[in-house]
Amino acid sequence: MPKRTDIKKILIIGSGPIIIGQGCEFDYSGTQACKALREEGYQVVLVNSNPATIMTDPDMAERTYIEPVTAEVLEKVIERERPDACLPTMGGQTGLNVAIEAWEKGIFKKYAVELIGADYKAIKKAENREEFKQAMKKIGLDLPRSHFAYSVEEAEQAADEIGYPVVVRPSFTLGGSGSGICFNREELARTSRLGLEYSLTHEVLIEESVLGWKEYEMEVMRDTKDNVVIICSIENFDPMGVHTGDSITVAPAQTLTDKEYQRMRDASIAVIREIGVATGGSNIQFAVNPENGRMVVIEMNPRVSRSSALASKATGFPIAKFAAKLAVGYTLNEISNDITQYTPASFEPVIDYCVVKIPRFAFEKFEGVDDTLSTQMKSVGEAMAIGRTFKEAFQKGLRSLEQKRFGFGGDGKDDVFGLKLDTREKLMKFITEAPADEALKDKILSYLAKPKAERPFYIKYAFYAGLSTEQIYQASKIDRWFLENLKQIVELEAELLQKGTAPFDLLRKAKRYGFSDRQLAFYFATREAKVRKLRAELGIRPVYKLVDTCAAEFKAYTPYFYSTYEEESDMIPSGRKKVMILGGGPNRIGQGIEFDYCCVQAAFAFREMELETIMVNSNPETVSTDYDTSDKLYFEPLTLEDVLNIVEFEHPMGVVIQLGGQTPLNLAKALEENGVPILGTSVSSIDIAEDRDKFKKLLESIQLKQPSNAIARTEKEAISAAEKVGYPVVVRPSYVLGGRAMEIAYDEESLLKYMKTAVEASEEQPVLIDKFLEYATEVDVDLIGDGNNYVIGGIMEHVEEAGIHSGDSACSFPPFSLSREVIEAVCDKTKKLAASLHIKGLMNVQYAIQHGEVYCLEVNPRASRTVPFISKAIGAPLSKYAAKIMGGLTLRELGMTREIHPKHYSVKESVFPFIKFPGVDIILSPEMKSTGEVMGIDEDFGMAFYKSQDAASSKLPMSGTVFVSVKDVDKPKILPVAKKLAALGYELIATRGTAAYLTQQSLPVKTVLRLNEGRPNIEDGIKNGSIHLIINTPMGKGPKLDEAKIRSLAVSFKIPCITTVEGAECAILAMESIRIKGLSVRSIQEYHSWKNETFPSPSSCEGEGNARQLES
Amino acid sequence: MKKALVVLEDGLVLEGESFGAEGERFGEVVFNTSMVGYQEILTDPSYKGQIVTMTYPLIGNYGVNCKDVESERPQVEGFLIRELSPVVSNYRSQKSLSDYLKEYSILGVEGIDTRRLTTHLRDHGAKRGVISTLDLDPKSLLKKVLASPEMTGQDLVKEVTSKSAYTFDETLDPEFCWPTQEHKARVPFNIVCIDSGIKRNILRKLNQHGFKVKVVQATTSAARIMSSNPDGVFLSNGPGDPAACTYLVDTTRNLMGKVPIFGICLGHQILGLALGGRTFKLKFGHRGANHPVMDLATQKVEITSQNHGFCVDLESLANKEVELTHVNLNDKTLEGMRHKKYPVFSVQYHPESSPGPHDSDYLFDRFYEMVSNFCHSRKSGNPGSSSPTLDSGSRPPSAARPE
């Protein structure tokens, strides 16, 4: 069927900010959808609050609404834009939920908008547990057996019928509390009694346990002609019980025979048909009992997902792009396979390599968090690796994680319950002694029983301790196939260690097993460069193979490569002038989608300059690893070895290292030492910015102040240094990202505690001690330069004061409270800094303003996290310009010679993962904790702030009760806030101290009991929904505190909780604005037509008018 | 492990380690892109005379079991893979792949850059080759390869056809039957299967779809077949060059019009020849489980299992009594046809799958209906009436016909 002509305008719902469970993959799918639909001549209207996405770039859609992804906003957008259809399957669970809500509110019906891809009924059927269960039963599919129980007796009866072990799941509890696995009647009685108590409906589900079963996923696509194809099968390394997002996963499925695989394929096809996903992709999860092959269906996602992004990258088959085309009526056989060009998309990709995805965790960021992996996803990102064998892909995956691991251990980072195997000798000693250590064996076995991020490494230690595959299997239920493959790596490691050197055959085998030069250097007690040289001498170099969807059956045209150690590369590099862009690797806190955005922009820029672009990255979620983005994609780890290999193969004219965040920047020096030309700002300038002494001199030379600071290598040095600079001080290890282990110490006691517990100071890893500027305003500045001229992209004023990580604070552009003098001083100093560093490309500077005085906190000679935000705020693609500058153009040639001053406010708010970590204290600190960001835009600052809060799922209430509890020093500052609240008609309640203070100031305030003062107390208020906003500035920090519990409760019950006075002040402005003006929306295309003075309303410029406006 | 060499007739030399039996074997080197199903592939008699390489690099993961076989033993001349699994992990497994190959004296080689080999075969076509663990001199091996027979012109059917006639009553394992494939409770029909190297799953499928199956040798004459008064005849898959099997073509020609006929793979090619068409050798063949085929009547796409090196020339059928029913969407080659007058149809691909998807299961139903209608009309005294199931006025729109 050809594409539909009855629809012209399509609304796409984005997924909003990056949160745990919703990463860059929806920027990838959304961007693909936008591109695909526009290619077909449809007008695309997009709603997404995340400015760091490529999809929200103004040229990706006709109309881009960077507004909160809520049903309310959706209605406003629909009202203005009148789309014919809405594609709800590209924006993850957020997009789907909003579409459901909008449907249930009758919004789509009211404006005659058709849901394409998946309709309401199908979404409901897939999402509702009971409806899903019935649907599966109807088509004869097995599910875990389950019964509801309302008493312990009923629970016991159900369990007897199902057979132990069973899982008890109380209905309607928060965060899955009260659930548990029971192996016998006694445990069941205890757990179900508790569960019944927890459950608001006094109901528990007794379910057959499939823990430890093998877990599989199938990526399925269907078209309007009911053609169904399987794009990819995925087998999980971690068995059932660990969220698939937290599991190591492998494609394709490894341990299914054809009979079992086809059964799963048949089931998948039956599921997508029964659920009724009309067109597009779905993901279906199965569990298989390893003992007897029994297969049960677990769930299905009627939309593109994290797994579909992974499947797309794993196979080269662009699921989201094709899903968009199917949604407008094409059939699979009418779409051609981009990669082979002449075969159709109606086929099932086959791969001739192994793909391994490994999740990236950030537990170290959250004090007191339970790091056991469970069905609640906790990872913040992932890396994918491709190899010809599982062993190769697994080791490549581990070194892609950016955790300073260079493979499956053997890199000096092995740590067995605190025993550090950081030298060759220690590792050898461990190998010799471990087999006799019975206690260690027991300890390892019980460790392996619990899934944790570090578990794979303990499998290695288990093998060294002489435990058998069978014992490890029994403890972990990780399939023997995976275990035996790991064992082969371990055995080869032992051999390499023993020999201490390797002849050709052994070295080649090691490389084929995925060992890095760094690991080999460790085994041979030499340096990485030496191993590299040895390999070169022996002629052991990687070859580059193609990802081509067809296992080489057809010639492939889309160049998407991975390295492996075999005989022949699939292509000969071109002789074109080319530029290599190093991406940012897996998402983690401190380094996320923002850098991917910059890299993608650079790829577009170089393409426009007709340079061949080569992208190197390891993050499967991203747009940068879409083979469409660059001329060539290398899906490789971003380590020196892997990057040098590609450089030696491709000989690019230069490498871009300043757009992918800290990961590529860290390689700058080593790359240059290896003779690799670095584009943009020079390595020596980067060094000045990173070297403490050189940096100090630079600041002095331009008379820019810096908080007084010192360096310490021991506790003693730290104490004297702190005395010298004066308390409070900011302490942190040198060379960190995202404020890792950064803290503010107010006195010697807390400093000592930090030195003892948080860091290990040493000669190579000193601790930095800076004077902490109290009550200072923090400012972020992004600048672009071409080595001669420098233009400020924007000055962003933070809402929270200095001391809170810049990645965690809200900020506003333009500044909302800074004086003209300060702004001028900041501009002047920033440009001077840039001139001194000869910035070619981007630079970010952070300042603290205290009593009108400007202090420089840090300079990053690279693209910063705020570049996409500021680009969208000013309507100029800074990273694209930066790339063009690196390609040889000047600011003048780019037409970017002056600062841009838009007429609207843009507020960036950070988004936190606290809801996934129940019990963790949510207060902000120098340690970055946010995973994503949103943007609120409006002509009015208050409204922009309101939108940013709404978009961050922290919608400020229009009325109701506000709970206020602040520390003493904040009391005078909170007074105006409280007064405003009262004046606006909000009811105030407070704990004793704050209440007394506010009453004294003659404000009407009710007193509420603290947690330990009896009942009903503040907890009851939160739980009963009688509190609508919490303002609580922390007196202390830590999960054990009373106030921390209140904050954590607020998160669980989704009550907005403001933890700074500044945040509260802005919230008041926001609440005033929303009450006066009400919510309105406007696309960024309209905002940036501000030069035209008036904003044409879209309803008056349908059709041609629209096009005209876009051209302007 | 012992070193092994693979040498192709055009001089390509690959080195690996032997994991099966030792020795020296010749055959046509071909690749298969299925990611699962190596056991079915190994035991498929159509691979007689061929050395098979799997494009998927990790092989042996789930071992072998006694049920997933397509004949009583592995049939390939040799098996080339990238990496043999260090362990067998599947609840149905009974032995490891290497033990299995050793047991039947089949050579297996691992450590091959199978992608390089595949690309080479794709670009230069399927090649004669040799595997040896005995002679490790590429030059001498090359000489031997060049002296080995070409695939074109070879009748390999005689090597794999059954020694004597037998009835087959094994059914599909219910554990792996999706509800739609459950055994059909039907009035059974008696059919004769001409065994040119038949895959067991075809027989299981025929049983499942309501046929009582008698398997006869490939050389059985038409008269002999008709003497048992079958309700239908099935022409099986098989190895080698169809044009060399003139006796099969003759038999088929004599059966047409007398009895409903269904052919798969080699059976389809034989039918093409019997109808007066030509067959030709494809550059590197179709071997895999992901080829899209369109049923021209319904315009639906099915994902098919394929294994053939020869193909019926579409043009050679231009003026014959044949209608195209299926086409390969990848290279637009002929995948299915039927006789315009007689109840005769065939497909080039493998609706019995094994390994591969079950999308084409409906063809067995078509055969059943064809046989049923033929019997019905024969009883009502109107023999020779045309195929009943495919009509229903849905002739393929000419635009969809492959050029």
pLDDT tens column, A197-230: 877 778 898 999 999 999 999 999 999 999 999 9
Residues B25-44 have a mean pLDDT of 98
- What is the number of other CB atoms lying within 10 angstroms of the CB of residue A1052? 16
**Of B350, B344, B281, residue with least CA distance to B312:** B281
Same-domain status, B116 and B42: yes
- Which pLDDT does position B179 carry in this prediction? 63
**Whether A348 and B39 lie within 8 Å, measured CB to CB:** no
Low-confidence ranges of chain A (pLDDT < 50): 1092-1112
pLDDT in tens, A1033-1076: 887 665 567 888 888 888 888 899 999 999 999 999 999 999 99
Q: A681 near A882, Cβ under 8 Å?
A: no
Q: Is A592 helix (H, G, I), strand (E, B) or coil?
A: coil
Length of chain A: 1112
Tell me whether residue B349 is in a domain: yes
Enclosing H/E stretch for A971: helix A971-983
Q: Does B115 touch chain A (CB under 8 A)?
A: yes
Tell me whether residue B56 is in a domain: yes
- Which pLDDT does position B399 carry in this prediction? 37
Q: Mean pLDDT score of chain A, rounded to an integer?
A: 92
Same-domain status, B114 and B190: no
Tell me whether residue B398 is in a domain: no
Tell me whether residue B310 is in a domain: yes
Tell me whether residue B152 is in a domain: no
Q: Does B43 touch chain A (CB under 8 A)?
A: no
Q: Strand A419-421 to strand B232-235: parallel, antiparallel, or no bridges (unpaired)?
A: unpaired
Mutant choice from B3, B12, B34, B36 vs A, greatest count of A C-beta within 10 A: B36
Name chain A contacts of B329, Cβ cutoff 8 Å: 333, 343-344, 346-347
Same-domain status, B243 and B183: yes
Q: How far apart are CA A473 and CA A36, in angstroms?
A: 46
Same-domain status, B324 and B215: yes
Give the chain B residue nearest A256 (alpha carbons): B62
Q: How far apart are CA A793 and CA A875, in angstroms?
A: 10
Same-domain status, B169 and B63: no
- Does B181 score more than 70 pLDDT? no
Tell me the CA distances in angstroms from B245 to A245, B225, B238, B322, one per residue in order: 56, 17, 11, 21
- Which pLDDT does position B159 carry in this prediction? 95
- What is the number of other CB atoms lying within 10 angstroms of the CB of residue B388? 18
List Cβ neighbours of A757 (8 Å cut-off, separation of 6 or more). Answer: none
Mutant choice from A255, A477, A478, A543 vs B, greatest count of B C-beta within 10 A: A255
Same-domain status, B251 and B304: yes
List Cβ neighbours of B324 (8 Å cut-off, separation of 6 or more). Answer: B296, B314, B334, B336, B337, B396, B401, B402
DSSP A280-302: EEEEEEEEE-TTT--EEEEEEES
Give the chain B residue nearest A268 (alpha carbons): B178
**Whether B357 and A139 lie within 8 Å, measured CB to CB:** no
- Which pLDDT does position A1039 carry in this prediction? 55
**Whether B355 and A258 lie within 8 Å, measured CB to CB:** yes
Q: Does B343 touch chain A (CB under 8 A)?
A: no
Q: For position B161, which CATH number holds?
A: 3.40.50.880
**Whether A551 and B115 lie within 8 Å, measured CB to CB:** yes
- What is the number of other CB atoms lying within 10 angstroms of the CB of residue A2? 9
Question: What's the total number of domains in chain B?
Answer: 2
Tell me the CA distances in angstroms from B381 to A1055, B261, B375, B377, one per residue in order: 83, 19, 10, 6
B350 noted as active-site residue: yes
Q: Is A612 helix (H, G, I), strand (E, B) or coil?
A: strand
In this structure, the dihedral spanned by the alpha carbons of residues A557, A560, A566 and A568, taken in order and rounded to 10 degrees, is: 30
Of B115, B300, B357, the CB nearest to A352: B115
Give the chain B residue nearest A488 (alpha carbons): B86
- Which pLDDT does position A1089 carry in this prediction? 86
Name chain B contacts of A344, Cβ cutoff 8 Å: 292, 329-330
Mutant choice from A138, A258, A463 vs B, greatest count of B C-beta within 10 A: A258
- Which pLDDT does position B387 carry in this prediction? 44
Residues B108-119 have a mean pLDDT of 97
Tell me whether residue B401 is in a domain: no
- Which pLDDT does position A890 carry in this prediction? 97
List Cβ neighbours of B346 (8 Å cut-off, separation of 6 or more). Answer: B235, B261, B262, B263, B264, B267, B268, B271, B272, B336, B337, B338
B265 noted as active-site residue: yes
- Which pLDDT does position A177 carry in this prediction? 64
**pTM to 2 decimal places:** 0.94
Q: Strand A354-360 to strand A249-251: parallel, antiparallel, or no bridges (unpaired)?
A: antiparallel
Of A344, A349, A568, the CB nearest to B116: A568
Tell me whether residue B263 is in a domain: yes
Provide the number of CB pairs (under 8 Å) joining chain A to chain B. 178
Q: Which residues pair with B262 in a beta bridge?
A: B234, B345
Same-domain status, B168 and B198: yes
Lookup result for tokens 């209905």 = A171
B183 noted as active-site residue: no
Of B113, B147, B181, the residue at which a domain comes to its end is: B147
Q: B161 near B248, Cβ under 8 Å?
A: no
- Which pLDDT does position B183 carry in this prediction? 59
Same-domain status, B65 and B194: no
Same-domain status, B232 and B272: yes
Of B104, B123, B147, the residue at which a domain comes to its end is: B147
Q: For position B76, which CATH number holds?
A: 3.50.30.20
List the catalytic residue out of B265, B268, B311, B358.
B265
Same-domain status, B217 and B333: yes
- Which pLDDT does position A141 carry in this prediction? 94
Q: How far apart are CA A435 and CA A609, in angstroms?
A: 61
Q: Does B65 touch chain A (CB under 8 A)?
A: yes
**Whether A554 and B357 lie within 8 Å, measured CB to CB:** no
The boundaries of the domain holding residue B97 are 3-147
Same-domain status, B221 and B340: yes
pLDDT in tens, B339-359: 999 999 999 999 999 999 999
Q: Does B280 touch chain A (CB under 8 A)?
A: no
Tell me whether residue B165 is in a domain: yes
Q: A485 near A394, Cβ under 8 Å?
A: yes
Same-domain status, B107 and B200: no
Lowest-pLDDT range, A300-309, B83-92, B384-393? B384-393
Of A267, A350, A566, the CB nearest to B290: A350
**Of A659, A681, A665, A668, residue with least CA distance to A596:** A659
- One-letter amino acid at B93 equals S
Enclosing H/E stretch for B110: strand B107-110
Interface of B with A in 202-261 (CB under 8 A): none
- Which pLDDT does position A368 carry in this prediction? 81
Of B147, B173, B189, the residue at which a domain comes to its end is: B147
- Output the six-digit token pair for A715: 């506790």
